[in-house]
Every structure is written in C-alpha cells, then in structure tokens.
Amino acid sequence: MDRLIEILEDIKPDVDYATCETLIDSHILESLDIISLIAELEEEYGVTIPAIEIVPENFNSAQRIKKMIERLEEEY
C-alpha cells in the first residue's frame, strides 16, 4: 500500500490517500490523472488494466485501487 500511495502522491500531491474515499466522485483525480495512474500501476505491478475496469468504483480510494490490482494479479 505504501508504494501505491507514493504513486498517487507523485500524480497529485497534497491528498490524504490513506483516508479519502471519493477520489473520483469529488474530482480529486481527473481523467488525465487516471491515465497517468493506470500507466504507473501497469508498470509497477505488471498487470494490464482493461477498459472494463476503468470505472469510478475501482478508483475512488487507494484501498479500492489496491483491491483491483490484487484481483488483476490473481488473474495473471
């Protein structure tokens, strides 16, 4: 989780990623941020994030992003 939060902070600093659960709903992360985040996640974790996974529910919090990554890692 620490590495995930570092990646998020590189993209958009000054957000409390440990507690925020509305990254998308509150427009903290916007479309270009998500594109950058997906590229970083794919490189860091060796997963491919298919378009069907790019929904607000999977990106609203660091915890949800982590769960998505773990699920994708199991599939590969």
Q: Which domains does the chain have, with CATH numbers?
A: 2-75 (1.10.1200.10)
24 vs 18, 46, 73, 75, 76, CA distance in Å? 15, 24, 23, 25, 27
Determine the pLDDT at residue 12.
96
Determine the pLDDT at residue 75.
85
Average pLDDT over residues 41-55: 97
**pLDDT at 76 exceeding the cut of 80:** no
Average pLDDT over residues 20-44: 97
Average pLDDT over residues 20-41: 97
Q: Where are the alpha helices (DSSP H) in 1-76?
A: 2-11, 31-45, 56-59, 62-75
